[in-house]
Amino acid sequence: MIAKNKVVSLHYVLKEGTKEGEVIEETAGQEPMVFLYGVGQMIPKFEDEINGKTKGDKAEFGIKAAEAYGELDESAVITLPIDVFKNEGAVDLEMLKVGNVLPMQDGDGNRMDGIVTDVDEKEVKMDFNHPMAGKDLYFEIEVVEVRDASKEELEHGHVHGEGGVQH
């Protein structure tokens, strides 16, 4: 049964908004998603919804944006001078195509990804919201396996072996 410190393997279909929404991601025909339950790897509301399920159980549920990746934060959309993107004295305009995701760093050296939303000759507008921010989610899941986590998995805080970290 799914509970804290269990390794969970499940297949899922993630749709935007509702059961009828556009499919965003799914594991059909691939390896199931494997994770350590109860250690903060998953959206808390997702874990609430699958708590207590066992191998073979299926479920469908929605998660509102505020309980998923949060609402859109307008302060996370910023405009930067195009000179910030100069490399060896030139700006790579191919890199600055609208929709491209660019790795950036804040003033403290923290890495974050930004999506280019607009470019002109002087400025680049970037959105640092999570790509799923502001979106309600709908999941269809099927539990493939539930097992006890090993001592090493608990110490490391993640799954080892098949579907997990190899080290």
The model's pLDDT over 41-53, given as tens digits with 9 standing for 90+, comes to: 899 999 999 999 9
In 3D, which of 45, 53, 71, 43 has the Cα closest to residue 2? Answer: 53
Is 90 exceeded by the pLDDT of residue 88? no
CATH topology of domain 74-127: Thrombin, subunit H (2.40.10)
pLDDT, position 52: 97
Domain(s) labelled CATH 3.10.50.40 in the chain stretch across 6-69+132-156
Q: What would the DSSP string read from start to end of 129-141?
A: S-TTTT--EEEEE
CA dist 60 and 46 (Å) reads 11
Is 60 exceeded by the pLDDT of residue 81? yes
CATH placement of domain 6-69+132-156: 3.10.50.40
Instruction: Specify burial of residue 69 (Cβ count, 10 A radius: 0-12, 13-18, 19+).
Output: middle
Is 80 exceeded by the pLDDT of residue 33? yes
Average pLDDT, the chain: 92
Is 70 exceeded by the pLDDT of residue 35? yes
In 3D, which of 45, 60, 69 has the Cα closest to residue 15? Answer: 60
Domain(s) labelled CATH 2.40.10.330 in the chain stretch across 74-127
CA dist 44 and 70 (Å) reads 12
